[in-house]
Structure 1
């Protein structure tokens, strides 16, 4: 859960020749300003010089709206007041986790096609752990490479918008920046170059999948040791105490120590003599992880000259900011710490957008912001409010299932392990006992439905079937890939989480608090203004950006063009 590698992916992308979109019809939407919709988004306007695609890891849409009155005028409000935002944007898949979400965004395809079913899973044939962006053939440049380290997009079985764009013109560039390797490598696709934050050294590094050595601008960035500037810096509340009355105070027993304590103000590097591996790792669960990532994004813009070419060439900058996810995991989205972190992020975005206005030109780029998943309230907090919420212990689940299967089918360890949202089984034991696999799966479902906290269980037959009426089955089907996913998938009850420790929160369910995320957009020549209430999905972003860039949609895309209100004035900005 707390994978301490900030990733930054540098994708060389391509310019704007190419064909129209995949031909999927646009949805009909209702906009606050009743502006006409672009049937083929952006096709009647020359492409921008730069697409800025932003992800806030672990940001539920409810947090954007809950704190709207406290936002700066040009951070998130740039989208809400002067762009188009989608009030009912969701993920369509059920196992809502970081890697799966990041794989959807710019491919437009669900895990059932990308094969990125989770952050990690077990190989169904060997039982070995698999990390979503692992590739043993490649290592980090100038830094230690741990087992299962994220070094390439090899496991991603789909192309991205950047891949399509680069196929048109390899000279165009796509930069993807993230607080996690998976948060950059997956949106970047197969034809880019990745840089990752090394939590032991405070550097950004690439892997040998992308290049043999770093360019000079990366060397210069690392030589300046920007991470060290946060040593001894205080994360203090931005607003007076009364402004946080809507949030849960610090220091609750369920708010775990993320490395910087669980109360504000928090001093980074407190009790450390000097910057070192623990300090560098602890930058992530603080606002300064995002500040550092945006600093590297600026360095990439400068070093690679993003958005600086003639109009016939477009670049893509993808920035996935990871710190909010770490904060929400440790303290819960209901906490003051999460509330304050969001306000810090808002200020960082304001500064970043103003930098882009000056460097690239306000009329030369499109910005889109989303999230990879939402977040559940911390179960202990929810229970204190009288809600049905708790945790399901995975070890106890396996023990219960195996005890029941032994009674039914005889001795043996029938269920071997959890894998993503499902359970794997000993296929050799099943064959040796002469038992039908389907019977084992059905009995497992019967057993699991007896457990407190389990809402439903879907078997292989259901996942391979065509039933679209059973609640959450279609969502879990979209999370299920036949080559890598387990044959039995579990959905916990609303408010419940898988986990054994007391404290912290998580995500990973098909419920609204996990699927409802922001899709916010801005770009005066390409995006109108207003709130769109029509239901849309994150998978719709890729076809939309492809249309704006005048290229085809990624081959595996399942989304449709977003119903963007048409700009009031046609593009006249240079």
Structure 2
């Protein structure tokens, strides 16, 4: 009997020891590659699937794990908030990035998400390139990875846009680099990270890739007649470059460059993605990412699809061509990683920072409800409401990002309660054409919306930075010109994006369950067995992990 008891204790102790070994043994990849494609709708994977090659998007779908029903769970769905949310695992209510630009009710002016004039730009003398993550209140998965390794692993973040490099890199990035166009056409950084550009960046800039690409016209990759997944090349719903009469191929870049910001023009072509892919490879080599005893992180943001989508719309031949070309860039990047790191030494995820609505004018031509919201007319309407109900024309201090900010000085002078005034205005605004729903700050602070678009508004609302009234426009209603399109809403066309994982530690498969963009950071954190970002509200997507 005693012998049996001792045997049982031994087996129990052995199982505990074994269990302990399972959770303490960390087999991290040498490199994590986080890819965000700016303005990539999920259906770009399926719509163009038959035209993709086997080694780009199809390979990730085939060998990785695909979440088919992935969405953003907040508004506004814009670049800065998207990048911040992917990497912090929370929304604007938690990380503090509430838009690309927003009204600062303390400074009484519009501010930009990554501006920081305490640090000089490194690599350029251009004005307004002084940036840092100072307004990002939360840690990122990239921060936590560096902290977990006593600051030994490296984080490098790159993008065509400054915000697309600064925010993913977090507060501890070893280098966040972005592209400046105009007459320079090169990658730069901020004094927040370093005092001078590394040699590998200087050497890359000397190769003058943008100048080489600008010598080419933007022609379709394949015969234009084969582009069956997009509408006619010549149509009234697309914008044009300055100097063009029609939005049609070919786009003569050398001829158009001077009138379109010189090297800024390259960002609005697929060649912007090509240059960034080359820069990613240069970063891996220059920083020796994945070559040491620690796990490094490379954050890449392909921004050209966003520029192109804004000008031409989601149904254009330009977008179809952009994704066919991006597929080839992805194949080259994966091939490089396989060869130089090894298939079992890196983990990759691919997602987007938002999706996009089809051009509303095009939808209207098909008798689908859509429209345009005139900001200037609405500001006049708000002014009239202030005079009608309170006898003052300056009751509203600011209207931006579909948010109304009340003038606190006027409220104090008239001894008016902000919540009461906001509620009164909300009751009027709901009747304005193009407005779908209206919420006051008090409602957002005292009501817990569990699902749907109202919960998205609440997730994006920040008590300190957001307005007194938040509006939701009608579906497919935007605030810009009638050519091209934009994004920012909580509707499916803006929220449904890819989330795909690939590489070491990742299963092969797919899921149709609803998941959220904020689930990426905790999933990567769990894979790496590190602390979650400090404001994380996402969940681990355990079905993707081995």
**TM norm structure 2:** 0.92
Q: How far did 1:145 drift? A: 4.3
Say which of 289, 297, 304 aligns to 1:323. Answer: 304
Aligned ranges 1:406-555 → 2 under 5 Å? 406-468=387-449, 471-499=452-480, 501-523=481-503, 525-555=504-534
Larger radius of gyration: 2
Superposed CA offset, 1:9-39 (max 9, x none) = xxxxxxxxxxxxxxxxxxxxxxxxxxxxxxx
Does 2:252 match 1:267? yes
Q: Note closer, same or farther for the CA distance 1:260–1:101 as it changes in structure 2 (3 Å cut).
A: farther
- How far apart, in 1, do the equivalents of 2:507 and 2:451 lie? 38
Q: How far did 1:203 drift? A: 1.0
Aligned ranges 1:132-151 → 2 under 5 Å? 132-147=113-128, 149=129, 151=131
Report what 1:333 is aligned to: 314
Does 2:77 match 1:126? no
The gaps in structure 2 that reach 5 residues or longer are 1-21
Q: Indicate conservation of the 8 Å contact 1:412/1:429, yes or no.
A: no
- How far apart, in 2, do the equivalents of 1:227 and 1:188 lie? 24
Q: How far did 1:420 drift? A: 2.7
- How far apart, in 1, do the equivalents of 2:163 and 2:354 lie? 14
The structure with more helix, counted as a fraction of residues: 2
Partner SS for 1:521: strand
Say which of 206, 211, 226 aligns to 1:223. Answer: 206
Superposed CA offset, 1:27-64 (max 9, x none) = xxxxxxxxxxxxxx998761101111100000010111
Q: Indicate conservation of the 8 Å contact 2:187/2:205, yes or no.
A: yes
- How far apart, in 1, do the equivalents of 2:469 and 2:130 lie? 27
Superposed CA offset, 1:486-526 (max 9, x none) = 11111111111123x22110010011111111001111x41
Q: Indicate conservation of the 8 Å contact 1:259/1:282, yes or no.
A: no
- How far apart, in 1, do the equivalents of 2:529 and 2:271 lie? 37
Q: How far did 1:243 drift? A: 2.8
The gaps in structure 1 that reach 5 residues or longer are 1-40, 568-574
Superposed CA offset, 1:179-212 (max 9, x none) = 1111111111000122121112101111111101
Report what 1:174 is aligned to: 155
- How far apart, in 1, do the equivalents of 2:118 and 2:209 lie? 30
- How far apart, in 2, do the equivalents of 1:378 and 1:467 lie? 33
Q: How far did 1:289 drift? A: 0.5
Report what 2:46 is aligned to: 65
- How far apart, in 1, do the equivalents of 2:349 and 2:70 lie? 13
Say which of 355, 361, 366 aligns to 1:385. Answer: 366
Superposed CA offset, 1:322-369 (max 9, x none) = 000011101111111111111111111111111111111111111100
- How far apart, in 2, do the equivalents of 1:534 and 1:271 lie? 46
**TM norm structure 1:** 0.87
Q: Indicate conservation of the 8 Å contact 2:148/2:531, yes or no.
A: no
Q: Indicate conservation of the 8 Å contact 1:105/1:539, yes or no.
A: yes
Q: Indicate conservation of the 8 Å contact 1:117/1:420, yes or no.
A: no
Q: Indicate conservation of the 8 Å contact 2:117/2:130, yes or no.
A: no
Report what 2:261 is aligned to: 278
Q: Note closer, same or farther for the CA distance 1:271–1:319 as it changes in structure 2 (3 Å cut).
A: closer
Q: Indicate conservation of the 8 Å contact 2:159/2:300, yes or no.
A: yes
Say which of 65, 77, 84 aligns to 2:65. Answer: 84
Superposed CA offset, 1:154-189 (max 9, x none) = 000000111111112212111111111111111110
Q: Indicate conservation of the 8 Å contact 1:397/1:448, yes or no.
A: no
- How far apart, in 2, do the equivalents of 1:495 and 1:141 lie? 41
Report what 1:571 is aligned to: none
Does 2:226 match 1:247? no
Q: Indicate conservation of the 8 Å contact 1:162/1:188, yes or no.
A: yes
Q: Note closer, same or farther for the CA distance 1:538–1:260 as it changes in structure 2 (3 Å cut).
A: farther
- How far apart, in 2, do the equivalents of 1:171 and 1:555 lie? 20
